[in-house]
Structure 1
Amino acid sequence: MITHPKGNIIIDGGTAMECATDPIGHWGEIITNVYWPVMKEEEGCVNVLKNMHIDPESIKYVIQSHLHLDHTGATGRFPNAVHIVQRKEYEYAYTADWFAAPGYIKKDFDRPGLKWHFLNGEADDFYDVYGDGTIKIISTPGHSPGHCSFLITLPNSGSILLAVDAAYTMDHWDQKALPGFLASAVDSVRSVEKLRFIAQQQNALVVTGHDPSAWPTFKKGPELFYD
């Protein structure tokens, strides 16, 4: 979550809270035979915010890096939110190839009444959400066709680059390995090269998406946060 004077923002929101009580019912047997979600109900996105005394109605935007099942926990949960996603990612989520289709849980994002704002690839690269440089959305396809990463610039903590799944681990970031899942190896490699340049340029703290070794080194809310 990012707090901002113009309205609070959620990026992705993790896994849907239904997976805490009924993983097979929500995700289905195909994907739960490969990935099993481990979470408690209080770890669902909305419940975490309520425990932090943050009103769900204060969320102005839900920004999606992509629409895979472990990143759509905030979609449709916040009544005033506009959902921002790459158009290519949204369209692919409904028409995914056989190897990728189980990773998209349509009941998460195919909800009546959702308000969407679509970005269009390179034409909207470095999309500045509030126009003040705080939150920029970077096009980083490869892991999925419309994947995005985020450059967050804070007053005291400086620049933080959320690679999300454009770089799974530091081995991927350091060009020693490809991620565990991808739509395009070529796009994945080029997106990491792009992010490495940005990180160097901005002297940014880099947060990869799924690195268990790096994760303990970061500040994590609600007790600790970057400002």
Structure 2
Amino acid sequence: MRAMIPAIAAVLFAAPLAAKDSPDLEMWRLDCGKIEMPDASSFSDAHLYDGESREFVVGCYLVRNGGRYLLWDAGLSSDLAGKTVVLEGGTLSMERSIVDQLGDLGLRPDQINFVGVSHYHFDHAAQLTEFPGSTLVIGAGDWAAVTSTSEPNALMDPRHFAPWLGEDAGNVTVVPHDHDVFGDGSVLFKAMPGHTPGHASLLVRLPDMGDVLLTGDLYHFEEQIANRGVPSFNTSRADTLASFERFNAMAKSLDATVIIQHDPRHLDRLPAFPESEK
């Protein structure tokens, strides 16, 4: 016991220094497209949104930690830049690619150290191939799904992950639960399975704004928080409900700002690009 006392004291007295030397963090929201759907019935397996039309924004996020960068989610395909495409189930559009927006900040794709995806769906992964030199951070359940097939489906296209597959594959961090992206506690990949097997949300601990929770697709719009709407295309209803509980408890205990990435009503929770939040 006596030998433990100096070690405990060192931790206690180091705490104020650690707080003073907190990481230099900055975060931007990038516009990665828009999806308009005439019928949102598939977003509840209990018929909560039958016949409702919904407009979804597609948000991607850039986090700077000192001189290192994380891109969180990679949006719709850059082939859509400047276009509007009408499909049977809705309309897709996008003004500018991620690479184009990064140029406004004086950044090149090869300066992005990490690309993290909340999950493998096409509207969160389609521009990943623009960052072949970055380390991919992905949930273990999602990586298992990506690597188990070469055939695209309506929601997932393994070709979006091509730089990290095959003989010349890039670096991949496969996360079975939670993960500290920069290794200093500032940006945490939080496992929230259910929407997909390895779905995750992101906790960003900004020095001025405080804790920010990016939902991924745990929630698509505010109403799902109140009425616990579970999309019919989620891979596990039970896991989704458990992730709802974990996320909500985390948001409450941290008094975090929650940003539902697809809800246009949450756009003003971060400054309009190219402004940032610290």
TM-score range, shorter chain: 0.7 to 0.9
SS of corresponding position for 1:174: helix
Q: Is the 8 A contact 1:159 1:205 kept in 2?
A: yes
CA separation of 1:51/1:180 partners in 2, compared to 1, >3 Å: closer, same or farther?
farther
1:20-35 equivalence runs, <5 A: 20=81, 32-35=87-90
| Partner residue of 1:145 out of 176, 190, 197 | 197
Q: CA deviation at 1:6?
A: 4.5
1:14-93 equivalence runs, <5 A: 14-20=75-81, 32-40=87-95, 43-93=96-146
1:117 aligns with 2:168: no
Q: State the match for 1:107 in structure 2.
A: 159
Q: CA deviation at 1:8?
A: 0.8
Greater Cα radius of gyration, structure 1 or 2:
2
Bigger mean CA deviation after superposition, 157-166 or 110-119:
110-119
- In structure 2, what is the Cα distance between the partners aligned to 1:108 and 1:12? 12
Larger RCO (CA within 8 A; separation ≥ 6)? 2
* 2:172 alignment partner AA: H
1:8 aligns with 2:85: no
Q: CA deviation at 1:176?
A: 4.0
- State the TM-score, normalized to the length of structure 1: 0.83
Q: Is the 8 A contact 2:204 2:212 kept in 1?
A: yes
Q: CA deviation at 1:200?
A: 0.9
- In structure 1, what is the Cα distance between the partners aligned to 2:98 and 2:169? 17
- In structure 1, what is the Cα distance between the partners aligned to 2:232 and 2:98? 25
Deviation by residue 1:80-126 (Cα, 9 ceiling, x = unmatched): 31111112202213557x9x93111222112464423233423xx2x
- In structure 1, what is the Cα distance between the partners aligned to 2:274 and 2:117? 24
- State the TM-score, normalized to the length of structure 2: 0.69
Q: State the match for 1:183 in structure 2.
A: 235
Structure 2 unpaired stretches of 5+ = 1-61
Structure with the higher fraction of residues in strand conformation = 2
Q: CA deviation at 1:192?
A: 1.1
Cα RMSD over matched residues? 2.6
* 1:75 alignment partner AA: L
Q: Is the 8 A contact 1:142 1:183 kept in 2?
A: yes
Q: Identity, % of aligned pairs?
A: 23
